[in-house]
């Protein structure tokens, strides 16, 4: 696992956007096959998306040959609800880039048969060629996508019940009203994310410090589903100084030293 520590969320976001764009451009230079990208929601990726939008506008990268699959969606929230992940993604990314509408995939939280919807999603990912890169965030309790604590690290796309913690944290998007936060979601599994050739996780701010401590220094465990990244050959966490505040000084120094050595 690599941990890229930047001074601020803004610097980390720019690093991540440039990294993703470089990967898309590298593949485009080698093959006409599409780049398959996993995407996330939440407040964390907004600045990364803003930089990608700028880069598309400036002709530095194109999403014309990108196929994307989002991580998750609430169950039962109308697609047009401002807090649906469909609305979020269109507002903060898709409406401002050149990705063809047919290449955009988001789980349907209103599907009449949610299990069939999840199975079809896994099938569509395989048919697209599998993920080249999955961009994710992390919940305060270490969850990745909506894989709450004690989700199997072998999990695949499925219906999940959200924890009280997650609903309380996400109440800020629903007028601060916990009761308005849906109780269930459809989510890719931990193993779905880890099936990607590369995984890049963003984590900014002191509220993510415990999750990063558990994911980086703790055992690989269903207690903190982000810790599954420890078993991935190409996992990177991009973070700021505040989010690594709970790491041991020696862990912090190790990641800083590796990055410095590799940048020379």
Name the nearest CA neighbour of 145 among 39, 237, 66, 244.
39
Catalytic residue among 122, 141, 198, 214: 141
Catalytic residue among 99, 143, 198, 240: 143
Burial class (CB in 10 A: 0-12, 13-18, 19+), 257: exposed
- Partnered with residue 85 across adjacent β-strands are none
Closest distance of CB 263 from ligand GLP, Å: 27
To the query of whether residue 143 is one of the catalytic residues in this protein, the response is yes
Which contiguous run of DSSP H or E holds residue 55? helix 46-57
- How many residues of this chain interact with ligand GLP, rule: CB under 6 A? 13
To the query of whether residue 90 is one of the catalytic residues in this protein, the response is no
To the query of whether residue 148 is one of the catalytic residues in this protein, the response is yes
Nearer to ligand GLP, 72 or 240 (CB): 72
Name the nearest CA neighbour of 5 among 174, 251, 218.
251
Residues between 98 and 157 with contacts to ligand GLP, criterion CB under 6 A: 137-139, 145-146
The residue from 47, 166, 192, 227 that contacts ligand GLP (CB under 6 A) is 166
User: Distance between CA atoms of 69 and 121, rounded to whole angstroms?
Assistant: 9
Say if CB 71 and CB 187 are below 8 A apart.
yes
The residue from 72, 117, 141, 198 that contacts ligand GLP (CB under 6 A) is 72
Residue span 4-43 as binding mask against ligand GLP, x where in contact by CB under 6 A, dash where not: ------------------------------------xxxx
Give the rounded distance of the alpha carbon of 57 from its chain centre: 23
Give the residue numbers annotated as catalytic, written as ranges.
72, 141, 143, 148
Binding residues vs ligand GLP (CB under 6 A): 40-44, 71-72, 137-139, 145-146, 166
């Amino acid at each position: 696992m690599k941990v890229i520590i930047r001074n601020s969320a803004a610097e980390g976001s720019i690093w991540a956007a440039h990294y993703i764009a470089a990967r898309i451009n590298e593949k485009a230079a080698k093959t006409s096959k599409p780049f398959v990208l996993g995407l996330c929601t939440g407040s964390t990726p907004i600045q990364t998306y803003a930089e990608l939008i700028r880069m598309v506008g400036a002709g530095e990268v194109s999403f014309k040959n990108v196929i994307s699959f989002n991580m998750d969606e609430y169950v039962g929230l109308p697609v047009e609800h401002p807090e649906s992940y469909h609305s979020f993604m269109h507002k903060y990314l898709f409406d401002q880039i050149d990705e063809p509408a047919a290449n955009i995939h988001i789980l349907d939280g209103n599907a009449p048969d949610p299990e069939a919807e999840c199975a079809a999603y896994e099938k569509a990912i395989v048919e697209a060629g599998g993920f080249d890169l999955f961009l994710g965030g992390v919940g305060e309790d270490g969850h990745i996508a909506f894989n709450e604590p004690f989700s199997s690290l072998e999990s695949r796309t499925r219906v999940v019940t959200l924890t009280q913690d997650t609903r309380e944290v996400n109440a800020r998007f629903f007028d601060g009203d916990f009761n308005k936060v849906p109780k269930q979601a459809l989510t890719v599994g931990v193993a779905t994310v880890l099936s990607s050739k590369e995984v890049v996780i963003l984590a900014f701010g002191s509220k993510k410090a415990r999750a990063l401590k558990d994911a980086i220094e703790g055992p690989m465990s269903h207690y903190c589903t982000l810790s599954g990244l420890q078993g991935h050959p190409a996992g990177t966490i991009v973070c700021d100084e505040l989010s690594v505040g709970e790491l041991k000084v020696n862990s912090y120094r190790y990641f800083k030293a590796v990055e410095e050595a590799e940048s020379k």
